[in-house]
Amino acid sequence: MKNGSLNINKAKKMNPVGEVTAKCNKQIVDSLNVILADEFALFTKTLNFHWNVTGPRFHSLHTFLDEQYRDLLTIMDDVAERVRVLGSRPLGSAKEMLSNMGVKESTSTSPTPATEMLSILLRDHLQVQAQIKTAVSDKDAFDKDPGTEDFLIGILQKHEKMSWMLKSHLDVIKDARH
Higher pLDDT, 69 or 109: 69
Model confidence over 26-46: pLDDT tens digits? 999 999 999 999 999 999 999
The pTM (predicted TM-score) of the whole model is 0.87
Residue 124 pLDDT greater than 50, yes or no: yes
Residue 172 pLDDT: 62
Rounded to the nearest integer, the mean pLDDT of the chain is 88
CA–CA dist 30, 52 (Å, integer): 33
Segment 14-25 mean pLDDT? 75
Q: What percent of the chain has pLDDT over 70?
A: 84
Residue 117 pLDDT: 94
Higher pLDDT, 93 or 24: 93
Residue 58 pLDDT: 92
Residue 55 pLDDT: 87
DSSP 8-class letter at 4 = T
CA–CA dist 169, 18 (Å, integer): 43
Residue 178 pLDDT: 46
Segment 82-103 mean pLDDT? 95
CA–CA dist 25, 22 (Å, integer): 5
Residue 53 pLDDT greater than 80, yes or no: yes
Residue 106 pLDDT greater than 50, yes or no: yes
Model confidence over 76-89: pLDDT tens digits? 999 999 999 999 99
Please provide the DSSP assignment of 129-166 as one string: HHHHHHHHT-HHHHTT-HHHHHHHHHHHHHHHHHHHHH
Q: What sections of the chain are H helices per DSSP?
A: 8-13, 22-52, 58-85, 94-100, 114-136, 139-142, 146-177
